[in-house]
Chain A
Amino acid sequence: MITKRIIPCLDMTEGKVVKGIQFVNFRNAGDPVTLAKEYDKQGADELVFLDITATTENRKILLDVVSRTAKNVSIPFSVGGGIRSIEDMRLVLENGADKVAINTGGFNNPKLIADCANYFGSQCVILSLDARQVRKNRWNVFINGGTTDTGVSAIEWAKKAVSLGAGEILLTSIDTDGMKKGFDIELTKTISKNVNVPIIASGGAGKIEDFYDIFKKGKADAALAASLFHFGELTINQVKNYLRNKKIPVRL
C-alpha cells in the first residue's frame, strides 16, 4: 500500500533556511545542507526546498545550494522558487532536483505548466498553490510570495493546473502558516476532492495530532512541516510512529 508522506520543508532566502509566520517575520533556522542530511537520516520521505524570495526579488533560484543539498540526500528532493521557463526547470533538475514546484511563474503563464509537463512529465511538475480564505467556502490564489491576491478561486486554479499537466499540488494555507494551530483541513479536503492528483498539505502543523487530522479528515496524501522539525520540537520518527499506531500507513 502506498504510504502517507512526511515532508520537511526548507524555506530559503539568501542561502539560509528561514521560517516565517503567515509569510512574514522570518527567523533563521540554520544551514540547508546540515538540516537536509539530518532529515534524510531521521526517515523523511521527501524534502522540499523553496527559495521563497526568488520571485519577489526578481532573481533566479540559488542553484549552488540546490546542488549541494541534492548531493547530500538519498530521498526525493523537490525545488521551487522563481521558476519561469523550461530552461529554469531544466537547470534545477540538472542540479539534482527530482521535482520542480511552479507557483507565480505558472499562474502568470499557465502554458509553462503544460510545456514543463509535456517535456519532463507530469510526475515532476508540482503546482505550488498559496491560498487564503476570503469568505466562507471561498479561497483565493495568492502569488508573489503570498503578497498578491489574484482574485481567482483556488479550486478553479487547482483544476486548471492539473488539466494542464501538474502532477501534484503543494497546497499552502496562508491562514494557518506558522500559526502552529493545525493544518487547514477545510481547504485541503476541498482541493483534494476536486482534483485527482496527490495533495501535499502545508502550513500550520503545531502538534503531533495535527498530522493524523490532515490525513484522516483533510484527505491529504502528504504533510509538510518546517518549524516543528527545524527547532527540534518533534522528530520525523515520532510523527511516523504515532501515525502507525493510529493505523495511518507510513514508511518506518
Chain B
Amino acid sequence: MIVIIDYGLGNLGSVKNTLNKLGVDSMISKSIDDIKKADALILPGVGSAKQGMKNLKKRGLDKILINEIKKGKPFLGICLGMQLLFSTSEEGNVKCLNVVDGKVKMFSSKLKVPQIGWNEVRIKSLELRVKNLFKNVLDKSSFYFVNSFYCLPDDKSVIVGETEYEINYCSVLLKNNITATQFHPEKSGQIGQQFIKNWIKLI
C-alpha cells in the first residue's frame, strides 16, 4: 500500500488518480498509523514551504516522516514535497525536514517566475537504478513544472536529472530510498505515468 500524505496542501487527488490508472493500491491519509504501515510514501506538493512545514508540524507528521525515511522506507517527493526534504528553504526562510543536505533557493527574476510549463529533463547518471527510473523515458523528455524555487543539494552525486531555466538545476534527485522530482509526474501525461510506474518497480 502506498500512502499519499495528506497535509492539507497539494494536489492529492491528481496523484491518487494517476496511481488508480496504473492499478496501484494507494490511499490518501494523514494518519500516523497508516504512514508507519505503508510500503512506500508519496509527499505531493502544491503550496508554500512555510505553510507546508507548518501543516506537517501541526499534524505531528514531520518527525514521523523523518523517522520513516531514515528507516529506509521508499519515498517519493513531488515539487514542494521535494523541497521540504532539504535543510532550509528561502520561501518564508523556514527550516525543512533536513533529510537531504542543501537548500532551496528562488529563481532570479530575469525570467518569468514561477516557471510554469513543460521543460526538458536531462538524465545525469548512468547508474543502473537511474536507468531503471528512466526506463522507456528518453533523455530530454519534457515534464510539467510549476515552481518559483529550486533545490540545491550539497552533495551533487544525488542529482540524477537536470533542467535548465536560466540556470541548470536539480530536477530529479535519488538518494538511497529517497526519490524526488521538481516536476509533476502526475501531470506530465504518458511520460509522467511511465516515470511513476518505474518508481513503483524500484520500490
Which residues of chain A have a CB within 8 Å of any CB of chain B?
1-5, 40, 43, 45, 67, 70-71, 74-77, 93-99, 117-124, 167-168, 196-198, 221-222, 251
Contacts and interface: CB of A to CB of B under 8 A. Distances in A.
A124 B112 CA distance: 15
Interface string B106-148: 0001001111111110000000000000000000001011111
Contacts of B188: 74-75
Contacts of B145: 2
Nearest to B28: A94
Contact of B118 (A2, A99, A118): A2
Contacts of A75: 144, 187-189
B116 A198 contact: yes
Nearest to B120: A1
Given A121-B48, A123-B46, A124-B146, A5 B189 contact: no
A198 B187 contact: no
25 contacts: A2-B115, A2-B165, A5-B117, A43-B189, A70-B13, A71-B17, A74-B18, A74-B21, A74-B187, A75-B144, A77-B187, A93-B11, A93-B13, A93-B46, A97-B11, A119-B51, A121-B80, A122-B148, A123-B46, A123-B114, A123-B116, A123-B148, A124-B146, A167-B146, A196-B113
A188 to B, nearest CB: 14
Contacts of A76: 144, 146, 184, 187
Interface of B: 9, 11-14, 17-18, 20-21, 46-48, 51, 80, 109, 112-120, 142, 144-148, 164-165, 184, 186-190, 192-193
A251 B47 contact: no
B117 A2 contact: yes
Contacts of A98: 11, 14, 46, 146, 184, 187
Contacts of A94: 12-13
Contacts of B51: 118-121
A12 B78 CA distance: 31
A96 B48 contact: no
A197 B112 CA distance: 5
Given A1-B120, A118-B51, A119-B51, 8 more contacts: A1-B119, A5-B117, A45-B144, A70-B14, A75-B144, A76-B187, A98-B46, A120-B51
B117 A120 contact: no
Between A40, A119, A121, the greatest number of chain B beta carbons within 10 A of the residue's beta carbon is seen for A121
